[in-house]
């Protein structure tokens, strides 16, 4: 067992989850493929394990989101994405052209980094920020007249 597999096994056990090949494979795959859709996770893990159902991938992702081993993000107009980076106060940049997503650290480094003008009695502990724009590749394509829309 390599260091990454050992760490993932320990994380699963620490969160009270049974260690399964599917859970380890999904978590390992997401380490090097952040912001992946369910379909991308399914295809990546299928290649790795040889057999797994889409439903099993949904179930693993759901359990791992609940256990805070995986974070789910849902950019407007895009399918849900999943990443291993959890427990910090980071945000996302989403390209309107190609849909690429990148992490960006919060400039205040504490949650919430924004405060509403009126909290309506809520105790605010998190603000979800998504920045929208064009990535460098899409900006270059736009200047050269190449269509970047998915």
Q: 86-129: per-residue pLDDT in tens?
A: 988 788 999 999 999 999 988 776 666 677 778 888 888 777 78
Percent residues over pLDDT 70 in the chain: 93
Q: 6-32: per-residue pLDDT in tens?
A: 999 999 999 999 999 999 999 999 999
Does residue 39 contact residue 26 with C-beta atoms inside 8 Å? no
Q: 35-82: per-residue pLDDT in tens?
A: 999 999 999 999 999 999 999 999 999 999 999 999 999 998 899 999
Neighbours of 67 (CB within 10 A): 16
Domains of the chain: 3-73 (1.10.10.10), 88-144 (3.30.1490.190)
Burial 74-91 (b: 16+ CB within 10 A, else e): ebeeeeebbbbeeeebbb
More confident residue, 150 or 134: 134
Residues 6+ apart with CB under 8 A from 147: 141
pTM of the model: 0.82
Q: Give the pLDDT of residue 129.
A: 83
């Amino acid at each position: 067992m390599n260091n990454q597999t050992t760490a993932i096994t320990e994380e699963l056990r620490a969160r009270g989850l049974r260690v399964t090949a599917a859970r380890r494979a999904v978590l390992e795959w997401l380490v090097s493929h952040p912001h992946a859709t369910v379909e991308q996770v399914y295809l990546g893990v299928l290649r790795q394990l040889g057999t797994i159902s889409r439903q099993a991938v949904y179930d693993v992702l759901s359990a791992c989101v609940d256990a805070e081993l995986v974070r789910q993000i849902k950019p407007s107009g895009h399918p849900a994405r999943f990443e291993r980076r959890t427990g910090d106060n980071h945000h996302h940049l989403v390209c309107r052209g190609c849909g690429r997503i990148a992490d960006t650290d919060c400039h205040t480094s504490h949650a919430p980094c924004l405060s509403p003008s009126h909290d309506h009695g809520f105790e605010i502990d998190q603000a979800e920020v998504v920045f929208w724009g064009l990535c460098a590749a899409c900006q270059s394509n736009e200047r050269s007249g190449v269509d970047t829309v998915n």
